[in-house]
Structure 1
Amino acid sequence: MKKRRMEKRCMEKRRITLRARLTLVYGGLFFAAGIVLLGVTYVLFAQQLDRGGDLSVHTDSGGSASSPQNTPSDSLNWVADEQKRLHDAATASLITQGGLALTLVGGVAAGFGWLIAGRVLVPLHRVTDTARRIASAPAADRGLHERIALDGRDDEVKDLADSFDLMVERLDRSFDGQRRFVANASHELRTPLTVGRALVELAMHRKTASPDVKRLGEDFLEINDRHERLISGLLLLAGSENHIPDRQNVDLADVVTHVTAQRAPEAEKTGITVHEDAGPAPTTGDALLLERIVQNLVENGIRHNTDDGGWVQVTSRTLEDGRAETEVSNTGPEVPSYELPTLFEPFRRLDTERLVTAKGAGLGLSIVRSVARAHGGDVTARPRPDGGLTVTVTLPQESRHRPQG
């Protein structure tokens, strides 16, 4: 990623800007017009000299010519030579001095063209700067309050700026509606599930409840629990791309140790061994969301595994460039390479008939990717040759200064 950014910057440095191209166009047109004008002047000047070349030789009363020679032929030759010398001198002076003046005035014109092009492109720079600020916002819905609000004459550039402002305003309203929907869904969806759980538990714990009612209640509670996990995952997925305002320095080694200890009982029940290699991996972000990354990866490794001596390997380390990395590998069914991109999409899972405990909702890796991107990181996955998957999450390095609480 860093290499791509450097290549992009080098390409931006090598490219010719619109201002430079406009200046070249202005200067080129001026020089072309100047050369045409100089050529026309030269032709007219040469014709004028040729018209004045029909000179007569005047002789004095003694019959001698006004030239150094006494014969008419010599006088005519002398006049022709003088005329040619005058023509060559005037032509050389016209071309030399005219070309010098053209170069000087052309340079001044190019300078004025550069200044004029810069003033003309100022509104476009405002459009570009605003678009870059919105695009570089830490989350998709941050920065949409930015507006160009271009003043000035009503022209094509102002139409472009107004259209851009209108587009951003509509996007802002759309994201605002999405935030309100998430907030309302959090309440509207959780409340009936909570009420349903309470009613089922009340019916199960009644003294008159039959074994069939208790067994049916356990099934309902399991379904209810899965729906609660599904709703929690959807809400977290919807809000995980938001900006992380309160970043703290977190060591992924502590997160790996904590999550591994929590998930060890679940792994033992399914006959899966969890191996831990928690090396120092300091980064910056939200501790709970970073814990959710490791938790989802470990749960994914445990659930999508085999019952024949399967294992999950959890590792954290610091890369040479200072970035923090955590990696979770697991045994399991063979994963085709062409299926990897779809694993990070919501509700996309591989064939669950081969899995021992496929109880997930298909949101685990989607949440991992969203949380990683919200922290400025990235996530990749690759299949293991013997079956299973290796998922690697890379996060930015730890900040030099700890944020003030």
Structure 2
Amino acid sequence: MQTEKAGEAGIVIVGGGAGGLELACKLGRKLGPGRVALVDSRPFHVWKPSLHEVAAGTLDIHQEGMSYQMLAHDSGFTFVYGALTGLDAARKRIDIAAVTTDAGEQVLPPRALAFDSLVISVGSTANYFGVPGAAEHTIALNTTEDAERFRMGLLTLLTLAEQKKTIGDNAGLDIVIIGGGATGVELAAELREASGVYTAYGFNQLRAARDVRITLLEGSPRILAPLPERVSAAALALLRERAIRVVTACRVSAIAPDHVTDTNGNVYPSHLCVWAAGIRAPQMLSGLGLPVNKGGQIEVDSFLRAKVREGREGQEGREGQADIYALGDCAACVDADGVAAPPRAQAAHQQADFLADIFLRRARGKAPSDKPFRYRDYGSLVSFGHSGTVGSLMGSLKGLSWFVEGALARLMYGSLHLLHHRAVLGTLRTALLALARFLIKRNTALVKLH
């Protein structure tokens, strides 16, 4: 197997999601490509919280995606294309899978990449909780491919429904979303808004509220259960205003190609079914020799270092392995205050800043900070398309929060995406990109039709 050196400092970051990419850009600008490498199984980056817009067709993936090669050139890190398949902690190297075309032709061979410090930031995948048929008959919006598969399926089904309408068949389209967290709620709202737009582009026989039937199933007594009750109630009202059926305290027992069944025997017809009911870390992490929890996340200490697996001798440090870190959804992080960092973009952003400070101090020969990582909850915002947003903002005093909705909340929600772009691209380029996308949206179809 071919071996590549990671460079003088050898900081290798595996996973180019929100946190991993921000960390690579911040370190690359200071240390350069010979000392920072980013490994990812895909050639371009998309901000994962926007995948529901890609699925609905209101966001064009080919305009939104940013090439890792371009970002590496501009931000001063090295991009290594391929998926992580193994870790040799003692020899300080990782194994990277071959890259092949859809036809099976090998583009890049399997490789081994040496490191001095390793950061694992590979995100999360769907947790189906053993529900029969969930993996086979649902789409989970984990990747851009998932979102595009849903969008193309939606276009096909809309076309079929339109054709049936012309011959007097009143059958419409049933979409079932399992999971009433932020992803499920935002997707339901975005789909309702998009379905109304699609009817303006040739689907003249369809009436969105009548013929595109959207059902949201949630196992808890209310949607958005982790958020304040006022936010949940406002979200429920907005969904019902948009003719979206919401069923709470609903436990799904089985999923078939054309329907979903719950534990009470209720049956929900479905042409398209989305799984948004839970996440877990990628299964691959369990084979790296690092300690993981029941959800497959790497257990880390209060400095985000991977903990030492019990029973192994000769490891560095009692608390954690000094040269291996994890951040984001794949890390089981409980800070010094006993607060578990949630699987959200703001947690990954804070962890990226924390690790950037550690590595930059080390590179400059400064003493490491003795302050452990502490997650700060700044609140949550939930989008309802371009016409509404609700959420809560956290104050500086513990337990203090403010309910926000309407135009202000929508503006703040949009700024979250821009803040991520700013961390990756810088202020000027982010401003130019925002302006360019605004102008493009005014001169193209409001939904992607191809």
Tell me which interval the TM-score lies in, with the shorter structure as reference length. Answer: under 0.3
Larger Rg, first or second structure (1 or 2): 1
TM-score by length of 1: 0.21
Which structure has more strand as a fraction of its residues?
2
Which structure has more helix as a fraction of its residues?
1
TM-score by length of 2: 0.20
